[in-house]
Chain A
Amino acid sequence: GNSVTQMEGPVTLSEEAFLTINCTYTATGYPSLFWYVQYPGEGLQLLLKATKADDKGSNKGFEATYRKETTSFHLEKGSVQVSDSAVYFCALKWDDMRFGAGTRLTVKP
């Protein structure tokens, strides 16, 4: 079946550090891939998405590229801020939506 695996957290970084959160997927078809972010006490918000191979999604300084050859959709940001502290979910959608387990990011000043 379709599934998403993302790196376990928690991840703790200093402000302005480089961020990578790894995400790989298994799918029987050609899914769309998403990153959602959940800030403390809130619901999930779409951060970015890519609908086909080699597409790059980007938003708020975050980027992820749909890599079909490595079945990956790693999330990156060049310089994190304290306000980026949240839980990040990788997800795929083919016939239904599947979420990864979430990665908690804490950014310290």
Chain B
Amino acid sequence: DTAVSQTPKYLVTQMGNDKSIKCEQNLGHDTMYWYKQDSKKFLKIMFSYNNKELIINETVPNRFSPKSPDKPHLNLHINSLELGDSAVYFCASSQASGVTGDTQYFGPGTRLTVL
């Protein structure tokens, strides 16, 4: 059973388009996250979300928005895609964001290429 899954695995699109990446976790976790990994493997937190609170990294453009239709899902919507958005996007989940020893479980990633 896949704990954290993402679709699609690869996404190639033109500049200016709007796209979404889906994420689902079957771990019963309360908190989900989106990360961006650039070509040098540097990981940047974009959002963390539970059913009470959305925390946004202030450096993330407002073209990016997370949407959670229900607890196991946190989808990432991106409007007006730009070349610099090309990266690998990872979804993750954890039991409780406020616990310091809490482990995050990652999805396999979605490689986004903007042409």
Interface residues of A (CB under 8 A from B): 29-32, 34, 36, 38, 42-46, 49, 51, 87, 89, 93-94, 96-97, 99, 101-102, 104
B90 near A93 (CB under 8 angstroms)?
no
Categorize the interface residue count of chain B.
20 to 34
Say what secondary structure dominates the interface of chain B. loop
B103 near A46 (CB under 8 angstroms)?
yes
Contact partner of B105 among A31, A42, A46, A97, CB < 8 A? A46
Give bound CA distance, A94 to B41, whole Å: 22
Nearest A residue to B102 via CB reads A93
B108 interface residue (CB < 8 Å to A): yes
A49 near B41 (CB under 8 angstroms)?
no
B42 near A51 (CB under 8 angstroms)?
no
